Structure 1
Amino acid sequence: MQKPAGLVLLAAFGAASVFSFAPLYLGALMPLSLAGWLWGISRTRTARGALLAGYAWGLGYFVANVYWIYISLHTFGGMPGWMAAGCVVLFGAYLALFPALAAYLGRRLPCPEPLRLPLLLPTLFCATEWLRGTLFTGFPWAEIGTSQIPAWPLAGYAPVLGSYGVGWLLQAGTGLLLAQWRAPLRWAAVTALWLAGWGLLHVEWTTPVGRPVNVSLAQSNIAQDMKWDAAHYVDNLRVNLQQVQRAKGDIIVLPETAIPAFLSDVPPWYLDTLRSAAGRRALVLGVPLQGKAANEYYNGAMVLTDPGQPVYKKQHLVPFGEFVPVPWLFGWMYRFLDMPLSGFSRGAVKQAPFVIGPTRLAANICYEDVFGSEIAQALPEATMLVNFSNLAWFDGSWAAEQQLQMSQARALETGRYMLRSTNTGATAIVDAQGRVQARLPQRQRAILEGQAVNRTGLTPYGRWQNTPILLIWLLVTLSLVCAGIRRQHPSKSF
């Protein structure tokens, strides 16, 4: 059993990871944080001790990286402070089960000891990270691979293996440096890994098409406590109109739920006024959409200026924000939360991009851009990506900056520009290499004017998504376990 001081130290190693993500982008800190996880497990001799070590590290990691949930629950959701803080800890405690499971299996499964640190433990860690991003609709926030994007050398592997693959190589390199191998061999292998990644950063996987497109991305900066207040409804509509009138781009984008009412309830004259202000330009905006049934409604986006009014309906909803999983267990939260439209329906998994001249614009809303494989499903049809967000729920935290970094990961994985129009930030234009070309300061009402380029073609990740890395993990794990069994029982054959 680990001593309390050791467990606190492991939690501190996990918490330090928050500085490796945006807005600081100190990606070099992530290997140090991961080294703490590996070190904690290497000091144990039992699977139970490894489980506890992995859990302590994970608790520090996730509480530090999702602390901003407190703001949405308490400040805007109306939950008492003590209860909101407790929910953050409970959520972190749930998420910590995944690195704990990896630690337990990493000590329990048979494996040649020289390969346990550099291969088995990193593979199990990343496999459980994928499981965290999949189970119960998934919550892949703060993937370790995202910390290396866009400029650290291992980011070059993102268009090939995705952010999960980047994380695996990062963890494997860290484990290799800690392994009991000859120092020249360890350093040579890690140096080669990073140099190859740096080389891949300079590969242009997709092809630009046509002239750059002038885009205008609106940042409304409407306070969350005013956005859904009926007393401010007309003022909010006025803000939208003023921003459309000031916009100069050929494609104008307004953020998530820019119109804080069902489209069917908005006065037709106002919609006509918006279309008139846009003129011949395309106006794309976020708006709730009413379904056929009374309790059927969607978090949506649409091209208002297209006579056919094509829509996108958000298909990956936020647990506890847009729907409550396992209502019989968590339904009590509705008694404390004051969140409008918190029972959304899901849109279809596969939806066609918006057709705007030569641009095929694939929409995603809020934290849908956290899911790399789902964003890649819009390819090859999509020539550009657009995200509509309202992160005023977490105002004053690093959540908006962290999500911007995840959008950078999606742009790099797919080889597509990502446009981001948000209510309070971070509104930005991200190029196909995952670099922020232009952005607005947070919590300012403004319009980001810039250019984006349509691109065609497929990156390896865009073609196969997570399938290659999942197969690699499966083969590595099976090979190591079989090799471990052979060492334990030399007479057995496979």
Structure 2
Amino acid sequence: MISRFKPLLVHFLLALFGAVSVFSFAPLYLFPLMWLSLAALTFAIQQSATPQIAAGRGFSFGLGFFLANIHWIFISLNTFGGMPAAMAAGGILVLAAYMALFPALAGWLTLKLPCPAALRILLLPSVFILTEWLRGWLFTGFPWASVGYSQSPMTPLAGFAPIGGVYLIGWLLCLSMAIIVSKPKWLAGWGIVASIWGAGWGLNQIEWTTKVGAPVRVSLVQGNIAQNIKWDNAFYLDSLKTYLELTSKARGQLVILPETAIPSFISDVPDWYPQMLRDAVAPRKADLILGVPILGTHEAEYYNAVTVMSDPKLPLYKKQHLVPFGEFIPLPWLFNWIYSFMDMPLSGFSRGAVKQAPFALASGQIAANICYEDVFGREIINALPEATMLVNLSNLAWFDGSWAAAQQTQMSQTRALETGRYMLRSTNTGVTAIIDEKGRFKAVLPERVAGILEGTAQNRSGMPPYAWFGDTPLLMALCAVLLGLGCWKRRSDK
């Protein structure tokens, strides 16, 4: 009887180890728990008798991992989107199961690909990170909770972010766990792990970018407009007045309001409002950035945008990486029926251009990105080398009360590390923060309060290696590892 249930126990424990990983990310930052999670996965796959068993174990781990890390999507679907609870919960389960296919694929490949027994320690870390990258790219990508984020910015491995981004951090973390699980001898194993982590600490001491000009006084405005009233016409003028009052109290030379701070098309804003916003910052000649939807040239063309309201010409940044099922409907002929169960305002946004010029503001070049866009490191670097500072405008009230905002903020910290730039986050309900070029918080506003985060930020120039090359060198290196292992195995078998 015990032997009959032992496989089920293994799958349950792997799902539990996967779920525990959620505590390794923000807001708790208990990064050693990711070591435990990955060690359990590595051991389970190494002990698998067949590729199919390894795939099943990878799937169980992934299901627990993603249910724990993305469960908050339920809030947007049910609480604010109006989807029935059972349907919303089922949708989250389906999404988590889809994402669990990637660690399942990693497990299957680990036992299926040819590899010398002595070097199998390299195989799982390589295929795991390749499948993570695939998850972050396929079908527009959803790279949430990539394992490397759990080590950023507080561990020595974060020092590798300017070299190869979050996936390099993740690969080195997986490699370290694979070595440790294999019960290494001192020089052959623990010495390698110590060298990796020591090198990361050393890299983190390097200043990859240089200061440009004097520090800039910034004001990041958080209106705390509840999502259930944000798009309600009865509260529209109240929302406008809230942001006008906060803007008038701001003291920075650069004032930033969050995504869709104006909850209507800019063409529908009362005539008096834009001028009153300009008048609020005019006495100190400050620059004012805010988020607002804008209409395009065609009836069905509209964008989630950022504009410089203090400039009457209203220069724009148009969001180019949209959220599937939130800002656009993938395969409408297949999924359009879902929206009969939901109340989602402006769910058919158009895409902006991949390469857009930064705003010439605050004695520098300010590159804006909107909400979900800052989870894609390979896209944020498109603004470099011109950009001297990064700005993220978000409205995460869709997930209010969850850890989603904190998790995304940790990704912003990693973007700052990868680019060697300050990242300024202005959000509706949090996390509103000033993050320096090392991914450290300089100032943070409490969540779910209306207020202004006052502080200073530094324009910076220069190009860390990751900013030049993105993920390409790491992907090529990992593919070369797999090819080399396969060739070595075939040669040794002859």
TM-score, structure 1 as length reference: 0.97
Structure 2 counterparts to residues 47-446 of structure 1, below 5 A: 47-116=51-120, 118-179=121-182, 181-279=184-282, 280-446=285-451
Aligned-partner residue type, residue 270 of structure 1: Y
SS in 2 for 1:164: helix
The aligned residue for residue 29 of structure 1 is 33
Match of 1:461 among 451, 466, 475: 466
Q: Which amino acid aligns with 2:93?
A: V
* Per-residue Cα deviation, 1:119-170 (whole angstroms, up to 9, x for no partner): 1110000000000000000000001001111110100000001000000000
Q: Is the 8 A contact 2:216 2:362 kept in 1?
A: no
* Match in the other structure for 2:482: 477
Paired amino acid for 1:262 = F
Q: Deviations over 1:424-446 (max 9, x none)?
A: 00000000000010010100000
What is the distance in 2 between the residues matched to 1:71 and 1:41?
34
- The alpha-carbon deviation at position 304 of structure 1 amounts to 0.9
Matched to 2:209, the amino acid is T
Name the CA distance, whole Å, in 2 between partners of 1:471 and 1:183: 30
Q: Distance in 2 between matches of 1:157 and 1:266?
A: 46
Q: Which deviates the most, 151-160 or 171-180?
A: 171-180
User: AA paired with 1:30?
Assistant: M
Q: Assess if the C-alpha contact under 8 Å between 2:287 and 2:362 holds in 1.
A: no
In the alignment, the residues of structure 2 paired with residue 453 and residue 108 of structure 1 have an alpha-carbon distance, to the nearest angstrom, of 50
CA distance in 2 between counterparts of 1:70 and 1:181 reads 43
Distance, in Å, in 2 between the alignment partners of 1:459 and 1:450 is: 26
SS of 2:213's equivalent in the other structure is strand
| Higher alpha-carbon deviation: 349-358 or 173-182 | 173-182
- Does the residue aligned with 1:376 lie in a helix, a strand or coil? helix
* Contact 2:148–2:170 (CA under 8 A) maintained in structure 1: yes
For residues 28 and 306 of structure 1, the distance between their equivalents in structure 2, rounded to whole angstroms, comes to 48
Residue 357 (structure 1) shift: 4.4
Q: Secondary structure at the match of 1:319?
A: coil
> Does the 8 A contact of 1:314 with 1:347 survive in 2?
yes
Distance 2:348 2:311 in 1: 28
Query: Aligned equivalents of 2:184 and 2:229: distance in 1?
Result: 60
1:3 maps to a residue whose letter is: P
Q: Distance in 1 between matches of 2:147 and 2:244?
A: 41
Instruction: Please identify, of 442-451 and 172-181, the stretch whose mean Cα deviation from structure 2 is larger.
Output: 172-181
Q: Note if 1:12 corresponds to 2:32.
A: no
- How far off is 1:183 after superposition? 4.1
Identity %: 58
Task: Map Cα deviations across residues 64-87 of structure 1 (whole Å, 9 max, x no partner).
Answer: 000000000000000111111111
Tell me, yes or no, if the aligned pair for 2:393 and 2:425 is still in contact at 8 Å.
yes
Q: What is the alpha-carbon root mean square deviation over aligned residues? A: 1.1
Kindly indicate whether the alpha-carbon contact (under 8 Å) linking 2:260 and 2:293 is maintained by their aligned counterparts in 1: yes
More deviation in 318-327 or 72-81? 318-327
Counterpart amino acid of residue 236 in structure 2: Y
Q: Is the 2:24–2:32 contact (alpha carbons within 8 Å) kept by the matching residues of 1?
A: yes
Deviation at 1:420, TM superposition (A): 0.3
In 2: Cα distance, 1:331 partner to 1:487 partner: 54
Query: Is 2:52–2:108's contact at 8 Å kept on the other side of the alignment?
Result: yes
CA distance in 2, matches of 1:334, 1:258: 24
> Counterparts of 2:483 and 2:292 in 1: how far apart (Å)?
48
Query: 1:308 offset after TM fit, Å?
Result: 2.5
Indicate the SS of the match to 1:211: coil
Q: Is the 8 A contact 1:219 1:424 kept in 2?
A: yes
SS at match of 1:419: strand
Residues of 2 paired with 1:392 and 1:10: CA distance? Answer: 32
Letter in structure 2 aligned against 1:139 = F
Aligned-partner SS, 2:383: coil
Structure-1 separation of matches of 2:410 and 2:180: 27
Tell me how many residue pairs correspond in the alignment. Answer: 488
1:185: how far off? 2.2
Structure 1 357/249 Cα, relative in aligned 2: closer, same or farther at 3 Å? closer
In structure 1, list runs of 5 or more residues that go unmatched. Answer: none
What CA distance in whole angstroms lies between the structure 1 residues aligned with 2:71 and 2:489? 40
Mapped partners of 2:429, 2:270: distance in 1: 26
Secondary structure in 1 matching 2:263:
coil
Deviation track 1:379-427 (CA, whole Å, cap 9, x = no partner) reads 0000000000000000010000000100000000000000000000000
Q: Which amino acid aligns with 2:455?
A: G
Matches of 1:154 and 1:219, distance apart in 2: 32
Q: Distance in 2 between matches of 1:71 and 1:357?
A: 37
> Using the alignment, how far apart are the partners of 1:22 and 1:365 within structure 2?
20
Q: Structure 1 residue 182: deviation in Å? A: 2.3
Q: Distance in 2 between matches of 1:369 and 1:357?
A: 21
TM-score by length of 2: 0.97
CA distance in 1, matches of 2:214, 2:185: 53
Q: CA deviation at 1:181?
A: 3.9
